[in-house]
Amino acid sequence: MQEIEQNVSRLVAAYEQTRRDNAALQEQIKQQSDELFALRTEIKQAQADLRNLQIAHALTVDSPQRTKAKNHIRSLITDIDRTIDVLKR
């Protein structure tokens, strides 16, 4: 009978230790999830900043794409001006 009581006591102690370990692991998971969320948010912001810098760079550097875009815009403005002149007549 005493052996059964000792086994039950060890089982209860092991159960309590397992509960404490589980609670600690759950807290660790929560902290890591919070950290992961913060890092993902930081990555999204960095990607947005990079896109903005790329756009700003493309608009400030004299590149073939910029020249082509400017020429296309000039052409469109000329077409619009002609259309306005025709509509005024």
DSSP letter (8 states) at residue 62: -
- The whole-angstrom separation of Cα 58 and Cα 30 is 42
Q: What is the sign, positive or negative, of the torsion defined by CA atoms of 64, 66, 67, 71?
A: positive
Query: 10-62 pLDDT, tens per residue?
Result: 999 999 999 999 999 999 999 999 999 999 999 999 999 998 888 777 767 67
Contacts of 59 (CB under 8 A, 6+ apart): 66
Report how far residue 52's alpha carbon sits from residue 60's, in angstroms, rounded to the nearest whole number.
Answer: 12
pTM of the model: 0.55
Place of tokens 């919070």: 34
Span 60-81, pLDDT tens digits: 767 777 787 788 889 999 999 9
